[in-house]
Amino acid sequence: MEVLAKFHVIVHKIGRIIIPAGTRKFYGIEHGDFVEIRILKYESDKKPKEGTFTARVGEQGSIFIPKPLREVMGIKPGDVIEVLLLAHHKAGEVQE
């Protein structure tokens, strides 16, 4: 799958991350839209842990990493993770 954008973010409380304003503007991502995301957590000298999920975009571009995924990957507030934006769907679009 083609990657639309790649960026690094700091994980906030309860797994909240923010899609950068420039990325949201470029792709026309708005509050209520859906994004497909792959996250990678790097640890020294280990293969990165990764997971993929779909999330609804909140105010100011916030999305939440699902708790089960955070637990499996060992993601905590303050961690820096790599985010790959895989797809973007406008709210109300029908996907086939």
Q: How would residue 95 be classed by pLDDT, with cut points 50, 70 and 90?
A: low
Domain assignment present for residue 34? The answer is: yes
Residue 78 lies in a domain: yes
User: The whole model's pTM is what?
Assistant: 0.88
Q: Is residue 20 part of a domain?
A: yes
Q: Which residues form the domain of 70? A: 5-89
- Counted domains in the chain: 1
* Torsion of Cα atoms, 52 then 57 then 59 then 60, to 10°: 60
Note whether 74 and 48 are within 8 A (CB).
no
CATH number at residue 65: 2.40.30.100
The answer to the question of residue 9 being in a domain is yes
Residue 13 lies inside a defined structural domain of this protein: yes
Answer yes or no: are the C-beta atoms of 45 and 93 closer than 8 Å.
no
Residue 95 domain flag: no
pLDDT in tens, 72-91: 999 999 999 999 999 999 98
Please indicate, yes or no, if residue 94 is contained in any of the structural domains: no
The predicted structure's pLDDT at residue 91 = 81
pLDDT tens figures, 3-54: 999 999 999 999 999 999 999 999 999 999 999 999 999 988 889 999 999 9
